[in-house]
Amino acid sequence: MPMEIIKNSRREFIKTAAVVGAGAAILPSWACKTSKNALIASPAIYPAGDGFIQEPLPYAYGALEPHIDARTMEIHYTKHHAAYIKNLNAVVTHKEIAAKSLEEILQRVSKLPEDIRTTVRNNGGGHWNHTFFWKIMSAPTNSAPQGELLEAINKGWGGLETFKTEFEKAASTRFGSGWAWLVKTKKGLEITSTANQDNPLMDVSDVQGIPVLGVDVWEHAYYLHNQNRRADYLKNFWNVVNWSEVQELYSK
């Protein structure tokens, strides 16, 4: 792993741990901070002294095989994700985003100054989305949603298999590049998709809320192994979903 990617990981870990320990959370505009039912996001991504950094991948490149191949994971992580961070850090000292968490920035991305708006939307979104994506996957374990999450899925879609079908539909019909999401909103769980590197945290998203599951449908996420067969990639994705992490996000 390139040293420039991991050189600040210890400092970022310490900073993130402090944030989590303090109970810090980023709330969407509709969530009441004093409500027992307020929705909170996963631990916020803060810039370190030299800007945003890339956390170490939580598993080896080949850990998701045969469902996602090692070469795709290596290129995806070291080239694509790293490039989003580099481009985001080119504007990280701008007074409108300096010292703010990435969640705070994305939640008002439409209101950023025009000279940095597109850069932050594309690259800030890319950094957040990929950091999230790595964590909601793991080596195949044949796990499945349980407890409150499964109850919510059953309530919303009548069963896990119907939910998977609808999620795959959102992902497969997203024209061009983008993402599909399972989002915790004030209405409950909703399935949506976003273009490019947008996500449901952003105030430009059609469905706003806290992502608990997401899948990258940019071709670089699957093309080496699946070529143009996005549907095959989506079927394989279920084998590497880290349902424990998804459950953790939902429970918060």
Looking at the chain, the number of H-run helices and the number of E-run strands are 12, 3
Domains within the chain, CATH numbers bracketed: 3-52+67-135 (1.10.287.990), 147-251 (3.55.40.20)
Assigned token pair, 126 = 């890319």
Q: Does residue 7 have a pLDDT over 70? A: no
Query: 24 with 15: CB under 8 angstroms?
Result: no
Given a cut of 90, whether residue 252 has pLDDT beyond it is no
Write down the pLDDT at residue 48: 72
pLDDT band at 120 (very low <50, low <70, confident <90, very high): very high
pLDDT-based confidence at residue 142 (cuts at 50, 70, 90): confident
pLDDT score at 226: 95
The region that residue 106 occupies, defined by phi over 0 for left and psi between -120 and 50 for alpha, beta otherwise, is alpha
pLDDT of res. 11: 40
| Res 36: pLDDT | 35
pLDDT per residue as tens digits for the range 14-30? 333 333 333 333 333 33
> pLDDT tens for residues 185-243?
999 999 999 999 999 999 999 999 999 999 999 999 999 999 999 999 999 999 999 99
- Helix crossing, 147-157 with 160-172: angle to 10°? 70
Please tell me the least confidently modeled range out of 10-24, 47-61, 89-103, 134-148: 10-24
Q: Where are the beta strands (DSSP E) in the chain?
A: 178-185, 188-195, 210-216
pLDDT of residue 2: 42
pLDDT at residue 43, as a whole number: 58
- Lowest mean pLDDT of 6-20, 79-93, 132-146, 194-208, name the range: 6-20
Side-chain-facing half-sphere of 183: CA atoms under 13 Å:
23
- Choose between 147 and 27: higher pLDDT: 147
Cβ 94 vs Cβ 116: under 8 Å: yes
Q: How far apart are CA 28 and CA 202, in angstroms?
A: 9
C-alpha–C-alpha distance, residues 25 and 28, integer Å: 10
Per-residue model confidence as pLDDT tens digits over 27-81: 333 333 323 333 345 557 888 777 999 999 999 999 999 999 999 999 999 999 9
